[in-house]
Structure 1
Amino acid sequence: MTKLSIPQVDGFVEIAIYYLYEHLLFWYDKYKIVNAGGFGSYLFGMSSKVAGLTTELKDADNIKDPKLGWMIGFMFVVSFLGLFSLVPLRKIMIIDYKLMYPSGTATAYLINGFHTAQGEKLAKKQVWLLGKCFIGSFFWGFFQWFYTGGDDCGFSSFPTLGLKAFQHKFFFDFSSTYVGVGMICPYLVNISVLLGGILSWGIMWPLVENQKGNWFPADISASSLHGLQGYKIFIAIAMILGDGVYNFVKVILKTSMSFVAAYRKRSTGTLPVSEDDQPDIDPSVTYDDEKRTEIFLKDQIPQWVAYAGYIAVAIISIITLPHIFPPLKWYYVLVTYIFAPILAFCNAYGCGLTDWSLASNYGKLAIFVIGAWAGSSDGGVLAGLAACGVMMSIVSTASDLMQDFKTGYLTLASPRSMFISQILGTSMGCVIGPCVFWLFYKAFSDVGEEASEYPAPYGIIYRNMAILGVQGFGSLPKHCLTLCYIFFALAIVVNFVRDMVGKKVARFIPIPMAMAIPFYLGPYFAIDMCIGSLILFVWEKVNKPKADSFGPAVASGLICGDGIWSLPQAFLALAKVKPPICMKFLSRSMNVKVDDFLSRS
């Protein structure tokens, strides 16, 4: 285990905190493998047990039952590409674009709260406030748990804006995590997310839903991609891709132009120091920012390591994956790896803005593209699900790595040490994750059955997506592709306008990537984030110096406390301890019917 290099750290508490962070990062990578490994979704959807729940494409070519050996091998060949894909762009994402990565920023503030250059007295106040918010957020999550004893129960389903608005996901769900995220994210990002939610769930989806029976069947399942869900997922993907591709191309062009300019300058024999070479001084850059940038760029990860690592792992995968999944031909894998860095950039960019990783959406895109390419007659379902796993692993680990690089940047940690820690943690996760799933799978013989305690609903959902995918994009509901083209182009146009009008005007133009996130998820978390922004805005108006000093501590405490609560909540679920109360909200007319029914029984 390599040690994180933190300069200017003294005292037992500070050292203990940084060692704790190092080991948490190391073990967190194992969890991320389980999350992106698809053990309850695409990977389990390959099994004969899930295939038996479907009505078509249940032949042997489209089934792959879980086995410990191939699962470990699969995890090893797909989990490392994301780590190498965006390493060359880490400076652009963290320093040039100044993306927030709210969870990474919150972790950094939690660590830095124990050691600050602004003085011991201020540090103690920050740590005390952070601790109070941390404890309050933790116990608020604990309190909410008591009221979640059923589906759609609890404060997270509180119709704060009315039942009609709740049906369209406009409500405040009392999430301290996203109130804290809203306090960290720039105002423009939060407003963009809210505008995206209003545009989609407030205007577009109700209009599309009115076309039920015309654009798509009226009796179709709400989760089917043949219906409204298809519009939500693919229009969101189109908008995200438009924004991501635009910024990716812009980065490539700027990099190429800088290389050309450097070559011309060298060839013309310009003196090492001249008036043209004097750097522009940005008065907004503080000494702390300069120091962070210096440390972040000093301990470089060589570019050739990233390129060679990506190519080497890609070659191994192209050779290995067709042996694990025969329908997944080598050229499918090759094409996936050619486009994967672009999609990884899109996901990491969106995660840096809003803290949401949409890895599952990119996986669904891979299901459609590869499944349609393979076709139903040549194991297309299995090929699509396997391609989903490949894509999800790449884009998920890429955004998670950038999140950790952001933490390292703010804490003056060694990027090289963090990268090595990621590789070691990922390696262990590739073994531990499949082993734990295998033990669970063998211990409970009814896993995946509808009437069991562990029905694994996402397994059947992903398999049905793959069945739909082999039919091609033409199987999507009416006008879905046309709307995708429009929103893809719209994202590019908005970005182009933002670049042309200058910073003073651009700060009033919404960000397409941030607007796209609620297209699929809903605007409820956007309301949380905007409340966080409102709290910070009022605080700054009342006492700006205090808000600047203590705002990040409050936000970090809210995020970390709510996040830590998920650990005991998981233990309670494993121990089969269920919440005692279901708090659910009904309309007055529905309540009358319920009371009448209960009085008769």
Structure 2
Amino acid sequence: MGLGKDESETAERSDRSLSEDENRMNPDAEAKEKKGGGSGSSEDESNGLSVERIFEGQEVPSWRGQLTFRAFAVSFVLSVMFAFIVMKLNLTAGIIPSLNVSAGLLGFFFVKTWTKVLDKSGLLRVPFTRQENTVIQTCVVASSGIAFSGGFGTYLFAMSKRVADQSKDPQRAQVFKDPSLSWMIGFLFVVSFLGLFAVVPLRKIMIIDFKLTYPSGTATAHLINSFHTPEGAKLAKKQVKALGKFFSFSFLWGFFQWFYTAGDGCGFTEFPSLGLKALQYRFYFDFSATYVGVGMICPYIINVSVLLGGILSWGLMWPLIETREGHWYPADEGPTSMRGIQGYKVFISIAIILGDGLYNFFKVLGRTLSGLYRQLQDREMSHVLPIANGSSPKNPQVSYDDRRRTQLFLKDQIPTWFAIAGYVTIAAISTASLPHMFPQLKWFYILVIYLFAPTLGFCNAYGCGLTDWSLASTYGTLAIFMIGAWAGASHGGILAGLAACGVMMNIVSTASDLTQDFKTGYLTLASPRSMFVSQVIGTAMGCVISPCVFWLFYKAFKDLGLPGSAYPVPYGIVFRSMAELGVEGVSSLPKHCLTLCYGFFSAAMIINGFRDLVGKKWVRFIPLPMAMAIPFYIGPYFAIDMCVGSLILFIWEKINKTKADAFGPAVASGLICGDGIWTLPSSILALAGVNPPICMKFLSRATNKRVNGFLGS
């Protein structure tokens, strides 16, 4: 459902790989990982691996001292930058890798530069600490996360007339709600904060009592801790230099390409690198620095899975189904009609996504319940909290790091009454205001969602702590079907289901994000209060910045959301189709489409089952169904870019693995950031009516001959 950072299963898998890279960049983290702790709680102090011993001489600022003006000034600048990056990824292919490394690196670089200038001038009063670095990272990730969970490429845009018109059904086309800056900002403000208050009372249980790992939050903490050691600061400086170099290259490459795009089908993105016939079926390298960078960050199996999905769909299935035109579906249906071949593309993709999502939902839910049962049972039997892996009630081992971190984590408590009052207040405001924005979404639908939201938020946060998978997209999909079916087609079930999806996704995703941040703060001695305030401020920034960035795209690119455009917003039509399916059933699908959907739904579950049954040695050779589903609708062109990124990283690792591990994420982030930021000036140029001067097209020999003959006449 779009691969969003911490919002989608596939993205979480790539985040775990990135976490491994971060651990390799930090010798302390790697040593702890080998010992099996993973969460920083099993340091061997006798071997000098205690992190907090290194920082023992540094005073930890108060929670208010961690919230500095410079931290939020830097966070705002980075939030705008990352909003453009995430929005571009969201509106093109929907694959959004973790940008935590970029946020940490750039936050460290900007504030370190700031403090160095002040120090030389004698004006520096407050030194830059790892706690302040954690505040920046938390704020930036919370803000840029709204660019995905806000639904600009999924449920929110699925409500628009541009997507509704693609169904070619007069009745369905009348059910829409076009984007507007005012209601989008208002909607995000009333739904994005609830998840923060839902899990605050459970922070001690998650972090201290159950000692959940939260691999991404742990890796981020190790990264920040390493930055603030002398060796880590030197490495970070080199990483920022590499990021800046490839940022400049990527930005200038995007600028250069713009000159050749003065019309439809023009530019380097249409270069037939694999031949004109392959170009027709979207097999080509489109020279996108963004997706080359994404390919360098994502694990090899994800990139290969996306390519396999593209070969299976656009290389085999769609050419075969096209031969059944007039038999399986009407020949006079347009290319965007759900009753034509487009129906197969969209609904088979949905079937794979649902199969993968439901399998992982039940797997993570099972692990959550069994893990929760075991930990509660251990507490009842021993009355001793499980401190770390391998600890036992008979021989509890509490390290210096754990004592120090627990002491400071419990020092600045967030009152439970404050969390409950905040939840009830925001829920009441939301229940009263959302029906005015979406008359189809009745107040009692919202009330039911909010009654179950704390439980679902806890399940997602706990499961994320165990497995590093956030299932927010799956919860959102369930809301589409449940609320849509409850409302019914005659009472606006399509819009009600999509709006309910937004409410649910924002609650459960922010719940898991906040607990990840609490884990990061626990390991860097950042106060829970400063983490909570930073998350709130970052979320508020995102609620304004992300809609404004989307509005710029929406106004600048008139073909936004249309198939074949530069920004096709593929998951807009996918979410819209799911909502229509939930309220109207499967009767309108083309012939044999439902049978194929059943087959691919089952195949997704079976493949996931095999992945869990085979050993680690073989699992890396079994593709990921979620990743395979992405190109079914939009084509495999971006998969080729990602595989090029994988190939670059693979060769780099063969030549110098240490350098590749240390600088690969920085280089990839530079490629992604530069190309992403170029969308800002390109959008401004489009709004100003400044068009590129050249159209570069590629024609076959026969077509070129006809064109020359026509021009010669």
TM-score, structure 1 normalization:
0.72
Name 1:530's counterpart in structure 2: 643
CA distance in 1, matches of 2:530, 2:607: 39
Q: 1:241 to 1:439 in 2, by over 3 A?
A: closer
Partner of 2:326: 213
User: Which sits farther off after the overlay, 460-469 or 502-511?
Assistant: 460-469
Q: Distance in 1 between matches of 2:242 and 2:439?
A: 56
Which residue identity does 1:570 align to in structure 2? S
Give 1:387's aligned residue.
497
State how far apart, in whole Å, the 2-side matches of 1:139 and 1:188 are: 30
In 1, distance between residues paired with 2:323 and 2:148? Answer: 40
Shift of 1:78: 3.7
Match of 2:586 among 460, 473, 477: 473
Q: Following the alignment from structure 2 to structure 1, what is the Cα–Cα distance between the partners of residues 515 and 679?
A: 24
What's the counterpart of residue 311 of structure 2? 198
Q: Give the structure 2 partner of residue 36 of structure 1.
A: 152
1:265 paired to 2:402? no
Task: Tell me, in whole angstroms, the C-alpha distance in 1 between the residues paired with 2:236 and 2:636.
Answer: 36
Whether the 8 Å contact between 1:86 and 1:345 is mirrored in structure 2 is: no
- The answer on whether the counterparts of 1:193 and 1:526 sit within 8 Å (CA) in structure 2 is yes
Q: Which whole-Å deviations, capped at 9, do the CAs of 1:395-440 have from their partners, x for residues lacking one? A: 3786688789889959957776455444345446657888999999
Contact 1:244–1:345 (Cα < 8 Å) also in 2: no
Per-residue CA deviation, residues 112-164 of structure 1 (Å, 9 max, x unaligned), is 99766535554443332222111111111111111111122211222211121
Q: Which residue is equivalent to 1:244?
A: 357
Decide which moves more: 553-562 or 204-213.
204-213
> Which residue is 2:295 aligned to?
182
Is residue 520 of structure 1 aligned with residue 633 of structure 2? yes
Distance 2:179 2:442 in 1: 20
- Is contact 1:30–1:429 with CA below 8 Å preserved after alignment? yes
Residues 318 and 147 from structure 1, CA distance in 2 versus in 1: closer, same or farther, beyond 3 angstroms? same
SS of the residue 2:257 aligns to: helix
Task: Answer whether contact 2:262 2:691 (CA < 8 A) is retained.
Answer: yes
Q: What is the distance in 2 between the residues matched to 1:113 and 1:128? A: 17
Equivalent residue for 2:239, pick from 126, 141, 144 = 126
Aligned to 1:588: 701
Read off the aligned partner of 1:36 and give its amino acid letter.
F
Alpha-carbon distance, 1:206 to partner? 2.2
On the 8 A contact 1:192/1:512 being kept in 2, the answer is: yes
Change (3 A) 1:400 1:156: farther
CA contact (8 A) 1:135 1:561 kept: yes
| Structure-2 change in CA distance of 1:440 and 1:194 (3 Å) | closer
- Please point out which of 228, 235, 253 is paired with 2:348: 235
Equivalent residue of 2:623, what SS? coil
Shift of 1:566: 1.7
The residue type paired with residue 527 of structure 1 is I
- Aligned pair in 2 of structure 1 residues 139, 433: CA closer, same or farther (>3 Å)? closer
- Is 1:149 aligned with 2:242? no
What residue number does 1:163 align with?
276
Q: What SS is found at the alignment partner of 1:36?
A: coil
Q: 1:541-552 counterparts in 2 under 5 A?
A: 541-552=654-665
Q: 2 CA distance for matches of 1:55 and 1:491?
A: 34
Identify the range of structure 1 (248-257 vs 426-435) with the bigger mean alpha-carbon deviation. 426-435
Residues 1:570 and 1:298: Cα distance change in structure 2 (over 3 Å)? farther
SS state of the match for residue 265, structure 2?
A: coil
Give the corresponding residue for 1:45: 161
Residue pair 2:292, 2:642 contacting (<8 A) in 1 also? yes
Report the counterpart of residue 453 of structure 1 in structure 2: none
The alignment yields a C-alpha RMSD, in angstroms, of 5.7
Aligned pairs for 1:369-448 within 5 A: 374-375=487-488, 378-380=490-492, 383-392=493-502, 394-395=504-505, 409=520, 417=530, 420-427=533-540
**What SS is found at the alignment partner of 1:487?**
helix
**Are 2:681 and 1:565 equivalent residues in the alignment?**
no
Under a length normalisation based on structure 2, what TM-score does the superposition of the two structures give? 0.62
How many positions carry a matched residue from both structures?
Answer: 562
Distance 1:113 1:593, change over 3 A: farther
Q: In 1, distance between residues paired with 2:283 and 2:228?
A: 40
Q: What residue in structure 1 maps to residue 618 of structure 2?
A: 505
Q: 2:161 corresponds to which letter in structure 1?
A: G
Structure 1 127/463 Cα, relative in aligned 2: closer, same or farther at 3 Å?
Answer: closer
Distance (Å, rounded) in 1 between the aligned partners of 2:162 and 2:270: 33
Aligned CA distance change for structure 1 residues 236 and 447 (closer, same or farther; 3 Å): closer
For the residue of structure 2 that corresponds to 1:580, the secondary structure is: coil
- Aligned equivalent of 2:597, options 484, 487, 494: 484
Show the counterpart of 1:286: none
1:330: Cα distance to partner?
4.6
How many angstroms apart in 2 are the aligned matches of 1:214 and 1:253?
44
Question: In 2 relative to 1, CA 44–265 (structure 1 residues): closer, same or farther, beyond 3 Å?
Answer: closer
Q: Would you say the 8 A contact 1:354–1:514 is kept in 2?
A: no
CA contact (8 A) 2:144 2:546 kept: no
The Cα shift of 1:538 comes to 1.0
* In structure 2, distance between residues paired with 1:138 and 1:435: 22
Point out the more displaced range, 485-494 or 7-16: 7-16
| Structure 1 pair 231–303 and aligned structure 2 pair: CA distance change class (3 A) | farther
Asked if 1 retains the 8 angstrom alpha-carbon contact of 2:440 and 2:496, the reply is: no
**CA distance in structure 1 between the partners assigned to 2:516 and 2:387 by the alignment:** 34
The structural deviation recorded for 1:41 is: 4.0
Larger mean Cα displacement after TM superposition, 383-392 or 319-328: 319-328
- 3-state DSSP of counterpart to 2:330: coil
Deviations 1:461-510 (A, max 9, x none): 89996788764322122232332232222222222222222212222212
Judging changes above 3 Å, is the alpha-carbon distance between structure 1 residues 433 and 20 closer, same or farther for their aligned structure 2 residues? closer
Q: Which amino acid aligns with 1:423?
A: V
**AA partner of residue 132 (structure 1):** K
Q: Which has the larger displacement, 123-132 or 321-330?
A: 321-330
Q: In 1, Cα distance between the equivalents of 2:314 and 2:413?
A: 43
Superposed CA deviations along residues 24-66 of structure 1, whole A, max 9, x for unmatched, are 567657766876398994555399x989x9844788xx57788
Gaps of 5+ in 2: 1-63, 73-103, 117-126, 393-400, 563-567
Q: Deviations over 1:360-414 (max 9, x none)?
A: x9989977876666455x343xx41343244246537866887898899599577
1:256 to 369, 372, 379: 369
* Displacement of 1:589: 1.6
Q: Which SS does the other structure have where 2:272 is aligned? A: coil
- Listed one character per residue, the Cα deviations across residues 510-546 of structure 1 (whole Å, up to 9, x for unaligned) are 2222222222332222211111111111111112222
Specify the code of the residue in structure 2 equivalent to 1:503: K
SS at match of 1:494: helix
Once residues 181 and 256 of structure 1 are traced to their aligned partners in structure 2, the CA distance between those partners, rounded to angstroms, is 34
Identical amino acids, percent of aligned pairs = 51
Taking a change above 3 Å as real, the CA distance of residues 195 and 146 of structure 1, as seen in their structure-2 partners, is same
- 389-398 vs 200-209, which moves further: 389-398
Q: Report the AA paired with residue 493 of structure 1.
A: I
